[in-house]
Amino acid sequence: MDLQKTDVLVIGAGAVGAMALWQLSKREGVSVVGIEQYGRVHSHGSYAGESRVFRTAVHEGGTYVRMIQRSRDLWRELERESGRDIYYEVGALSIAPEGFPDLVTALGTVREFDLPHRVLSDSELRKEYPQHLIQDGDIGLFDEHGGGLRPEVAIMSALDIAEKNGAKLFFNTPVIGVEEHPGGVVVRTTQGSWLAGKVVVASGSWSTRLSPELNELLRLQVLGLTWFMPRDPAAFAPDRFPAFLRDQGPVHFFGAPSFDGYAFKACTNPEWPVFRDVAEVPTSHTREELIKIGQRAAELFDGINPEPVRQSVHHCAYTPDRLPVVDQSTSGRIVTVTGLSGHGFKFIPQLGEWAAQLVAGDDTTVDPRFALPAHMQRLAQLGAYTGGGH
């Protein structure tokens, strides 16, 4: 077999892969290759869809705060290095009835970590954010460091810089096999094979195809995106309308301000089942789902047309407890980062930095609960995958 050689090879140039390539490419004297099954910045990845909500006031509690704070610095660094706008620090507003459990946890997080925030009553919300239709007894948590991220711009920027720093990137090249050998890792692609000293597997929703040991741990959840046209688009522009999370009864909505000047993103998810493989995931909402989402959106936002003007359906690899997988094989040669569970875009710069540190054998601050054996232990306690909901 004719093998091309590299020190490090990254499989997948999506969210995690792009950040790992950016970080690895900064290291002197290390040859770096990235291999992606689609083109540069495509529409099939879990990152696709114009914007991602960035929050420091996470309702998942303190687990993620340090990762998000480090990522915030790295998002700024990526903006400086690329000269592009990626992180719109317009704030993130969570609105829910007082006492709603996720909001209570988020309030606990901002207080514990002293994160800049404001708490707004129902009347303050109505005055400051008339775009939101507020129920009596709602409260708002405004996360000052929150906002919107531009995922496609972020990935393009990280890949461009990695390439400028000397990384070699190959697109439209699916990886079809990964095997550890005493002399390195053989990575087989549709366009030939590589021998790599170390490999970072960042293949997102496709992870189980290359790493069957993840079969029982990961499931694909479906996440739909919808955009609505307000009668007054200026009121939904980033300078007046923060990223948001809304909870009302069983309905959860999330979204971002208008980046295109005519529509803003407001999404909720129908009761989709979980899937095992990308090939099984639906590719569009049904007409009935879109009508229902539109009706719900019209109950939450003032002056909007209830017909979604844009919509798309995506997938993401979830673990049962939504903690990501950050794992290094026993030999140390293969680092796997996946299972970002529908909320991981905000901290991908930290994951990319950790991947590069693990490859180099540097000290890291990776939470030991993210290692695969720890995940499998928790899964064994559960008995089977029980994740569900977003």
Ligand X SMILES: Cc1cc2nc3c(=O)[nH]c(=O)nc-3n(C[C@H](O)[C@H](O)[C@H](O)COP(=O)(O)OP(=O)(O)OC[C@H]3O[C@@H](n4cnc5c(N)ncnc54)[C@H](O)[C@@H]3O)c2cc1C
Q: Which of 37, 11, 21 is nearest to 278 (CA)?
A: 37
Query: CA 336 to CA 343: how far, in whole Å?
Result: 18
At residue 59, φ and ψ (nearest 5 deg) are -80, -5
Nearer to ligand X, 13 or 161 (CB): 13
**Contacting residue, 140, 184, 204, 320, with ligand X by CB under 6 A:** 204
**Contacting residue, 139, 175, 263, 297, with ligand X by CB under 6 A:** 175
Query: CA 223 to CA 287: how far, in whole Å?
Result: 16
Query: CA 376 to CA 385: how far, in whole Å?
Result: 10
**Contacting residue, 223, 245, 325, 334, with ligand X by CB under 6 A:** 223
Nearer to ligand X, 129 or 253 (CB): 253
Nearer to ligand X, 127 or 289 (CB): 289
Q: Which residue is nearest to ligand X (CB)?
A: 14
From residue 340 to residue 359, the character string flagging contacts with ligand X as x (rule: CB under 6 A) and all else as - is x-xxxxx-------------
For residue 191, give the 3-state DSSP assignment.
coil
CB of 84 to ligand X, least distance (A): 18
Q: Which of 260, 197, 198, 195 is nearest to 228 (CA)?
A: 260
Full DSSP string of 136-190: TTEEEEEETT-EEE-HHHHHHHHHHHHHHTT-EEE-S--EEEEEEETTEEEEEET
At residue 48, φ and ψ (nearest 5 deg) are -70, 150
The region of 79-87, 136-144, 197-205, 368-376 touching ligand X under the rule CB under 6 A is 197-205
Beta strands in 202-290 (DSSP E): 219-228, 243-248, 251-256, 264-267
Scanning residues 295 to 324, which ones bind ligand X (CB under 6 A)? 314, 316
**Contacting residue, 8, 33, 53, 217, with ligand X by CB under 6 A:** 53
Nearer to ligand X, 161 or 175 (CB): 175
CB of 188 to ligand X, least distance (A): 10
CB of 226 to ligand X, least distance (A): 10
With binding defined as CB under 6 A, does residue 257 bind ligand X?
no
**Contacting residue, 210, 217, 266, 358, with ligand X by CB under 6 A:** 210
Element (H, E) at 314: strand 310-318
Interaction site with ligand X (CB under 6 A): 11-17, 35-38, 44-47, 49, 52-53, 174-175, 202-206, 210, 223, 225, 314, 316, 338, 340, 342-346
